[in-house]
Amino acid sequence: MIIDSHGHYTTAPGQLDAFRTAQLARLADPSAPPAVLAAISDDELRASVEANQLRIMRERGGELMLFAPKASAMGHHVPDPDVARAWAEASNDVVARVTALYPESFAGVAQLPQTPPDGAPGPGWLDATIAELRRSVTELGFVGVLVNPDPSGSRWTAPAVTDEAWSPLWEACVELDVPAVVHVSGTCTTAVHPLGAHYLNADTTVFMQLVENDLFTRFPTLRLVIPHGGGAVPYHWGRFRGLAARLGRPDPAELLRNVFFDTCVYHQPGIDLLLRVVPAENVLFASEMLGAVRGADPDSGVDWDDTKVYLERVDMSDEQRDAVMGGNARRVYPRLDARLREQGR
């Protein structure tokens, strides 16, 4: 079975964006009217994916997509926890409606309201975050969650994800048996492009945090997915090994009991390298469609994000390919596997 483990609802009906715009307008000017999400019909939801993600996934031979709200719009750096909570709830609710309309094609991955109260991590800073995680999993049936390791939006004011401050969130992920996809959002400076720099920087930064400090000795069953091919990690695996040795830390290969990478890498040499460095059992097929990079490579004619094409050209066994294309996702996302089994798949 072919599971695209990384998709975003970037084509949601305009009412959702209008709701966010109204939220931000009221933050800027408290005399502005309160944000209200206008009604969205099932037909509008169907049209929004049938013309886009669903059509393209089917054309490319995919069967199911893990579907999250638009990550660049999560905006945890916008300084109002109540606004963040309402935004996460609205975003997750529309994703949940799509997954309910197409239970065989989409499974939900949640956005969390990670904006810290008082503007900085402190006691209880994850309370609303964990409440929305629980709601998304237990009430909306989501199978995974996006966790932003830098809610400050490129200022990196939060402690490393290995810090005790994050433990309540990791405890909840373990208890609910959902993996956390490490995924930042927008940035606060035009010097750091969200999609071309911040996303990849954050993937790399979190891996180095895991190299430097223990997380999985405290949470041995926690699973983290580092998207976008792991940022610079596969390319610089030797640097991470050398730094680990220098710091008196275990070889980074030990992290691969808990850390997985996806294939949102948009050229053949990058995919080849990823699978030469990282074992196939730690790699999840993903396209991030429709996401950061759209259109086709003019040299090859292949859509940038049609990562299945690149994977088909990698020299690996049929067993390994099946694992990358879907088996690994079912292992990393047990709630997805349970749903698929209920569907007889």
Cβ closer to Zn ion: 320 or 328?
Answer: 328
Minimum Å gap between C-beta 258 and Zn ion is: 20
Minimum Å gap between C-beta 122 and Zn ion is: 28
Minimum Å gap between C-beta 200 and Zn ion is: 11
Evaluate whether 256 touches 224 at the Cβ level (below 8 Å): no
Evaluate whether 243 touches 207 at the Cβ level (below 8 Å): no
Evaluate whether 283 touches 262 at the Cβ level (below 8 Å): yes
Cβ closer to Zn ion: 144 or 252?
Answer: 144
> What φ, ψ does residue 238 adopt, rounded to 5°?
-65, -35
With binding defined as CB under 5 A, does residue 95 bind Zn ion? no
With binding defined as CB under 5 A, does residue 224 bind Zn ion? no
Which range, of 68-76, 116-124, 250-258, 330-338, touches Zn ion by CB under 5 A? Answer: 68-76
With binding defined as CB under 5 A, does residue 78 bind Zn ion? no
Do the strands 64-69 and 283-284 form a parallel or antiparallel pair, or are they unpaired?
Answer: unpaired
The span from the CA of 206 to the CA of 221, in Å, is: 18
Which range, of 30-38, 231-239, 288-296, 331-339, touches Zn ion by CB under 5 A? Answer: 288-296
Evaluate whether 244 touches 281 at the Cβ level (below 8 Å): no
- Find residue 65's DSSP bridge partners: 4, 106
Cβ closer to Zn ion: 71 or 137?
Answer: 71
Minimum Å gap between C-beta 264 and Zn ion is: 7
Closest CA to 88 of 154, 40, 136: 136
Evaluate whether 283 touches 328 at the Cβ level (below 8 Å): yes
DSSP state of 26: H
Q: Calculate Rg over the CA atoms of the chain.
A: 19
Q: How many residues interact with Zn ion (rule CB under 5 A)?
A: 2
Cα distances from 128 to residues 26, 114, 115, in angstroms, run 21, 8, 9
The span from the CA of 183 to the CA of 198, in Å, is: 10
Cβ closer to Zn ion: 203 or 288?
Answer: 288
Cβ closer to Zn ion: 75 or 81?
Answer: 75
> What φ, ψ does residue 69 adopt, rounded to 5°?
-60, 165
| Sole residue written with tokens 């599971």 | 3
With binding defined as CB under 5 A, does residue 71 bind Zn ion? yes
Evaluate whether 198 touches 184 at the Cβ level (below 8 Å): yes
Minimum Å gap between C-beta 227 and Zn ion is: 6
Q: Annotated catalytic, 175? A: no
Which range, of 65-73, 158-166, 211-219, 238-246, touches Zn ion by CB under 5 A? Answer: 65-73
Which of 139, 171, 288, 312 is labelled catalytic?
288
With binding defined as CB under 5 A, does residue 145 bind Zn ion? no
With binding defined as CB under 5 A, does residue 110 bind Zn ion? no
Cβ closer to Zn ion: 71 or 180?
Answer: 71
Which range, of 35-43, 105-113, 240-248, 283-291, touches Zn ion by CB under 5 A? Answer: 283-291
Catalytic residues, which ones? 288
The residues of the shown chain that bind Zn ion, judged by CB under 5 A, are: 71, 288
